Structure 1
């Protein structure tokens, strides 16, 4: 597999998002090419290509980084691997690439959330070295 950090979004990437986002969330709207480009311009969009499928884009991950008074924070968001490519280590490769990028940007920690029902994803994150934190996660719906 090939993992890359996207700087310029193509129609191929837009089409991949049309296939991948519904596998991540049944209620999320598919982002437009312009919205995907905004993510890429922040140097935070990773894609995975599967050579066994002719280089088809089969996964994506977004790394969100931002500076706060106490340092650089990093979050991994919206990790999705196409059903046809699961079990090949693509999610792990995407995650490791994001961790390395966060390190390069000066983050000392990387956070993420994952629903308990996503058992394979939770095993992956623990295998990579993430530790479950006991905290209150609050959300305010606008």
Structure 2
């Protein structure tokens, strides 16, 4: 089992997006190969994958970083582990790798959001050291 920061598109990566994105969001369409390439080419955006010993990608996580006047910040987004692989440490391995990398590149804080109904995910984030904040989250637009 291994976590890798991905920099290039491959056929196994395209297949993993096709498998994992529907498990993450019922309303999202998996990106095309070109869209994945554009995603990976962004400055400050990093994709981490979790693979089994056979090299099959069973999970992924996006780390987005940006600099604001108070320092470099990071957000973890779109964490998903294949249903068949859940409960075996893939999520924790992804989160820990992303946090380690964020600190290596100078992020002062790492934030994420998770719906309360995602009980297993919320337990995972607390186990990884995240603390719920007293805040409101607002969204503009659809």
TM-score class normalised by the smaller sequence = over 0.9
Q: CA deviation at 1:132?
A: 0.2
Consecutive unaligned residues of structure 1, counting only runs of 5 or more, are none
The CA distance in 2 between the partners of 1:37 and 1:90, in whole Å, is 24
Give the drift of 1:28: 1.0
| 1:54-133 → structure 2 map (5 Å cutoff) | 54-133=54-133
Q: Which 5+ residue runs of structure 2 have no aligned equivalent?
A: none
TM-score norm. by structure 2 comes to: 0.94
Flag as ranges the 4+ runs of structure 1 deviating above 2 A. Answer: 38-43
Following TM superposition, by how much is the alpha carbon of 1:38 offset from its aligned partner in structure 2, in angstroms?
Answer: 2.5
**Residues 33-92 of structure 1, C-alpha deviations (whole Å, 9 max, x = no match):** 1222223234500111012xx221000000000111111110000000001111110000
How many residues are aligned here?
A: 140
Of 83-92 and 40-49, more deviation after overlay is shown by: 40-49
Normalising by structure 1, what TM-score? 0.94
